[in-house]
Amino acid sequence: MADTHIVFAQTLIPGSAGEYSWGGAATTSFWIDPAEELIAIFMTQVLPSSAYPIRRELRTMVYAAITDSNL
């Protein structure tokens, strides 16, 4: 099994170390951030998934709404 990690500061995508996620067809996605005790499930039907950066905007809004971070 490969060990993969993201340096969030370099990608400009909000998140925490130890988080895992999946992005599917039609822009569906989920992510789990154990550090923030956060689970997000996003179900949509936008094709192609590159048509609009809605996944990135959703993550940005969710992390911006956290007022009492566990980090």
Which of 19, 38, 41 lies closest to 30, judged by CA? Answer: 41
By CB neighbour count within 10 A (0-12 exposed, 13-18 middle, 19+ buried), where does 5 fall? exposed
C-alpha 40/C-alpha 55 separation (Å) is: 11
Render pLDDT for 12-49 as a digit per residue (tens, 0 to 9).
677 888 888 888 888 899 999 999 999 999 999 988 87
Q: Is residue 3 over pLDDT 50? A: no
Domains in the chain: boundaries:
18-65
- Measure Cα distances from 19 to 32, 35, 54, 69 in Å: 6, 8, 19, 15
Dihedral angle over CA of 5, 11, 17, 22, nearest 10: -70
